[in-house]
Amino acid sequence: MRLNVAIFFGALFGALGVLLFLVAFGSDYWLLATEVGRCSGEQNIENVTFHHEGFFWRCWFNGIVEENDSNMWKFWYIYRGFWAVLMLLGVVAVVTASFLIICAAPFASHFLYKVGGGSYIAAGILFSLVVILYVIWVQAVADMESYRNMKMKDCLDFTPSVLYGWSFFLAPAGIFFSLLAGLLFLVVGRHIQIHH
């Protein structure tokens, strides 16, 4: 009976993890930005502009990197390509884990439960690396001060504001559920191996 409960919750957490990953990486609200400023040619009118950026889609950050700095652009595309590869590997790992767990039911193979659990854990680790790389990019690579100085040439009192969006916060929740599902399936596999 306890084994059935562990399998149920493992499957539930695995499904939640997959769903949260798909929503997080498929939506484009990882970063939310607001620009407020008075621009030349507009008397006493304060412009407020909202931007958003997804994991793959760049809607705003074009101006942050200097246009003439080709080395920075090359670094940017390699960096973004690297986290995209990690994300795709994570998707492969989580889909493989789900398939293995479906094939392992009901209590057919302790080996499949263990490999499925390990795949969920691998997916959680890969997605953790993706989120860490994204945070490093936002905090260290994107030069907000240069962007602000560039925009202040045309606009007075220009103030950018950058916040993480709701899509960004779904990814850590998916990581948590993926790791939890992986641990549960490893325990189930171990229990089946010992007692069956």
pLDDT at 70 over 60: no
What would the DSSP string read from start to end of 160-187? EEEEE-HHHHHHHHHHHHHHHHHHHHHH
- Domain-located, residue 45: no
| Residue 102 binned pLDDT confidence (cut-offs 50, 70, 90) | confident
Place of tokens 């641990």: 183
Radius of gyration of the chain (CA): 22
The tokens describing 71, both together, are 């080395």
User: Higher confidence at residue 72 or residue 13?
Assistant: 13
Instruction: Please give the biggest Cα pair distance in the chain.
Output: 80
Phi, psi at 18, each rounded to 5°: -60, -45
Q: Which domain holds residue 103?
A: 2-30+58-154+170-195
Are the beta carbons of 138 and 31 closer than 8 angstroms?
yes
- Domain-located, residue 50: no
Tell me, what's the pLDDT at 67? 42
Tell me, what's the pLDDT at 128? 94
| Residue 137 binned pLDDT confidence (cut-offs 50, 70, 90) | confident
Phi, psi at 81, each rounded to 5°: -65, -40
- Domain-located, residue 110: yes
Tell me, what's the pLDDT at 76? 60
**pTM as predicted:** 0.77
- The number of residues making up the chain comes to 196
- Domain-located, residue 146: yes
- Domain-located, residue 163: no
User: Higher confidence at residue 52 or residue 116?
Assistant: 116
- Domain-located, residue 160: no
- Domain-located, residue 53: no
Q: Count up the domains in the chain and report the number.
A: 1
CA distances 143 to 43, 129, 161, Å, are 29, 22, 13
